Amino acid sequence: MTTESPNSPAFMLYRVDGNGPEARWTRIGAAWANKDRKGFNLLCDAVPLQGRIVMRAYTPKPKAQAEADTDADSKAAASARKAGGR
């Protein structure tokens, strides 16, 4: 089973800084196809002033993997707060 729903985006938007394996990818939004399939609606959580924006097809993760990633993100955020980060 996957985490995809009828309202899942068709694409994810990323800001990419750098090139090759050293590049940093930051998710900044998502894109949904219009009903007429001639364009996309974009939802941007951030709009970068520098770097490039890459739109990649969205492939939902299996439900178990998505839950594991959420747990890992929560633990990383807690560690950052303990270390004085935001």
Question: What does the pLDDT read at residue 9?
Answer: 94
Distance of alpha carbon 55 from alpha carbon 71, whole angstroms? 26
Token pair for 27: 């998710």
Kindly report, residue by residue over 13-69, the tens digit of the pLDDT. Answer: 999 999 999 999 999 999 999 999 999 999 999 999 988 999 999 998 887 665 666
Name which residue leads in pLDDT, 72 or 49: 49
* Residue 55 CA neighbour count, 13 Å, CB half: 12
Q: Give how far Cα 53 sits from Cα of 6, 27, 56, 60, Å.
A: 25, 10, 10, 20
